[in-house]
Every structure is written in C-alpha cells, then in structure tokens.
Amino acid sequence: MGQKTISIFDVVGSKAAVSTEDGERLFETISAFLEKDFDVVLDFANIETLITTFLNAAIGQLYSKYDSPFLRKHLRVRGLQPEDRDRMIKTIERAKEYFKDKENTEKDIREAFDDE
C-alpha cells in the first residue's frame, strides 16, 4: 500500500472548487486509489473558494461506498483554509447521517413534498 496525494487545484484547474462535475471527478479519482489500497491525501493548497456542492459530490459521496473507520484511516486532508474546515466537517456529518439510513431519509423527503 502506498500513498497518493491529489492536488485539488490540479483537478479543478482553478482556485475555485465549486462545481458538482469537478467534485464527481475527484470522487472517482479518490475511489480509484482507495480501491487499489492507496492512502489518499487531498491537498487543498491554492484553493481560495470551496463550496458545499463540490464537497458533497467529492467527499460526501465517499460515505456511500466506505465506512467512517475506513475513511479515517485512508483519507487525509491538508492545506484546507480554516474557514473551510467547518464546511468540510458539516458535509461529512450530513453524508454519514444520510447514508446510514438512506431509505428512511429519502422516504421522509418524499413525504414532506407530498404534503404540499
């Protein structure tokens, strides 16, 4: 098992990590390395704008494939701006909650909209 560092700046091609498409691309890249038993380091150096849409697609989605202990062991983050740290934590918390009980969460959402 080795380690692979992924530059978010290189993945998105700019200082703004904002699109779902870029997040999906990062998700696929992370997953490919995790499946090959690599530890993955996400390097956020040079990223000035980071939004939840990107994080949901890139990071939150990982919880649909991997459990928390696995990701804590094999995924690291560096270079994250202090103001983005809370955004990352909230994304992870929401993803863990959602994927823990996906069926009931989706049922509750459908029922809420059916009431309108």
Domain limits, the chain: 3-114
- Which residue is associated with the tokens 């309108």? 116
Joined together, the tokens standing for residue 83 give 């103001």
Joined together, the tokens standing for residue 100 give 């823990």
Cite the beta strand spans of the chain per DSSP E.
3-7, 16-17, 39-43, 49-50, 75-78
Distance CA(66)–CA(83), nearest Å, equals: 26
Give the model confidence (pLDDT) of 37-71 as tens digits: 999 999 999 999 999 999 999 999 999 999 999 99
Q: Are 69 and 34 in contact (CB under 8 A)?
A: no
28 versus 114: which is more confidently predicted? 28
- Which residue is associated with the tokens 């202990």? 69
Which residue type sits at 23? G
Give the model confidence (pLDDT) of 87-97 as tens digits: 999 999 999 88
pLDDT number for residue 100 = 78
DSSP assigned state of 14: S
Collapsing DSSP states into helix, strand and coil, what is residue 47? coil
